Amino acid sequence: MQHIAILTLKPTATEAAQAQHRKAEVAAVWEMTRSDVLRTIHFFSGRGRGALLHIEAKDLPEAEAHVRRLPMVEAGLLDAQVLTLAPFTGFEVLFAEKPL
């Protein structure tokens, strides 16, 4: 199953605290990539800084467990939300004989 993890930097996460965990965080992300758990990762900014991770895991609890093991999540520097993705089924409306 595919999941999206939205990691948002907490306002209390100082640059010094981030720097203390940065190398371990990148190493953990690399290990997730090598083990075919992490498909893609992107940074975002705007209403908050953070990252979006595209994760492959058997179910939501497994995906959440991967995210909880990230050093910056463990250290309380990031808020994490994990969502399960489902295939888009909206195209069927294009082919329905009667409006759905």
Residues 83 and 38: beta-carbon distance below 8 Å: no
- Cα–Cα dist 75/7, whole Å: 13
- Give the pLDDT score at 39: 97
The pLDDT of residue 99: 67
Domain count, the chain: 1
Q: Which DSSP letter does residue 42 get?
A: E
- What is the per-residue pLDDT for 46? 79
Residues of the chain with pLDDT under 50: none
Domain extent for 71: 2-95
Q: pTM value?
A: 0.86
Residue 85, domain CATH: 3.30.70.1060
Q: Residues 19-36: pLDDT tens digits? A: 999 999 999 999 999 999
**Alpha-carbon distance 19 to 25, whole Å?**
10
Average pLDDT taken over every residue of the chain: 94
Residue 21 within a domain: yes
Q: How far is CA 16 from the centre of its chain?
A: 23
Report d(CA 6, CA 14) in Å as an integer.
19
